[in-house]
């Protein structure tokens, strides 16, 4: 995985949420959380695994909705922020934060009702291995997002601290097939780059988001979307 040292630094973890999800970035945070909730559905009393849980944005949100959730990450510093977030929300009893390798998940087959990863696959050096492990430990749903190779991200990808692996639709379909997953739904979003929203005030971002969404619904907008949300289901393992 690219940029491990950068990602695990204490100062990066402490500033991660404020730099990415303040100002117009709040809109990104809201949209990503909505995508997770739509994909997983009701989670009360369900066992859920989040890969690359980071500072616990999604982990805590799902625990607040009654999920029993494990958040796995390589960064102790990020998970320290997540534990504090869980403590403030009063959901520590519903969350286990675990440092581990997503390519070798320490769980038996079919252990979770759902497994998901947000902001992860663009960093993956072996995406097939990661997706196969996610499929192995899930009984029902696997959900993840990718950044797309026809988006504006192509123009500035090299500037990012951790870089990005960009995906085409055909590659993702091949990864799903190899992992024994069936695509249930895919949604494309954000023609305007994330970095643009982070630079503008939240009040202004809404107007740009409306225009972005309208254009994103056209055929050209679909092709230029920077992110795709993939919801897949686990196939029959009875054979």
Is pLDDT above 70 for 7? Answer: no
- From the CB of residue 231, how many other CB atoms can be counted at a distance below 10 Å? 21
Distance CA 83, CA 55 (A): 8
Residue 4 belongs to some domain of the structure: no
Residue 239 belongs to some domain of the structure: no
**Domain region containing 38:** 10-234
- From the CB of residue 20, how many other CB atoms can be counted at a distance below 10 Å? 20
With cut-offs at 50, 70 and 90, classify the pLDDT of residue 20: confident
Rounded average pLDDT over 213-218: 94
Whole-model pTM: value is 0.90
With cut-offs at 50, 70 and 90, classify the pLDDT of residue 161: low
Flag the least confident range among 12-16, 60-64, 108-112, 180-184. 12-16
Residue 164 belongs to some domain of the structure: yes
| Average pLDDT value for the chain | 89
Rounded average pLDDT over 30-46: 96
Residue 2 belongs to some domain of the structure: no
Rounded average pLDDT over 191-219: 92
Rounded average pLDDT over 115-142: 95
Residue 25 belongs to some domain of the structure: yes
Give me the pLDDT at residue 227, please. Answer: 94
Residue 229 belongs to some domain of the structure: yes
Residue 98 belongs to some domain of the structure: yes
Is pLDDT above 50 for 81? Answer: yes
Do residues 115 and 138 lie in contact, with contact meaning Cβ atoms separated by under 8 Å? yes
Burial class (CB in 10 A: 0-12, 13-18, 19+), 162: middle
E strands in the chain? 47-51, 68-73, 95-99, 112-117, 138-148, 166-167, 181-189, 227-234
Q: Tally the domains of the chain.
A: 1
CATH of the domain at 220: 3.40.50.150
pLDDT in tens, 103-117: 999 999 999 999 999
Residue 35 belongs to some domain of the structure: yes
């Amino acid at each position: 995985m690219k940029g491990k040292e950068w990602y695990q630094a204490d100062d990066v973890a402490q500033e991660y949420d404020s730099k990415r999800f303040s100002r117009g970035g709040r809109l990104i945070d809201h949209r990503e959380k909505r995508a997770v909730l739509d994909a997983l559905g009701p989670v009360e009393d369900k066992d859920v695994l989040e890969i690359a849980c980071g500072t616990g944005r999604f982990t805590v949100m799902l625990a607040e909705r009654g999920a029993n959730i494990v958040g796995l990450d390589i960064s102790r510093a990020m998970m320290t922020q997540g534990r504090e977030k869980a403590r403030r929300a009063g959901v520590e009893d519903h969350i286990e934060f675990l440092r581990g390798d997503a390519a070798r998940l320490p769980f038996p087959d079919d252990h979770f009702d759902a497994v998901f990863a947000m902001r992860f696959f663009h960093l993956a050096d072996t995406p097939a291995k990661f997706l196969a492990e996610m499929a192995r430990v899930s009984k029902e749903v696997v959900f993840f997002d990718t950044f797309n190779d026809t988006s504006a991200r192509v123009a500035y990808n090299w500037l990012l601290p951790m870089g990005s692996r960009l995906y085409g639709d055909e590659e993702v379909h091949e990864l799903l097939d190899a992992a024994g997953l069936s695509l249930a739904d895919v949604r494309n979003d954000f023609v305007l780059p994330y970095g643009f929203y982070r630079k503008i005030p939240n009040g202004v971002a809404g107007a740009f988001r409306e225009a972005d969404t309208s254009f994103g619904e056209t055929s050209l907008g679909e092709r230029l979307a920077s992110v795709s949300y993939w919801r897949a289901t686990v196939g029959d393992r009875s054979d």
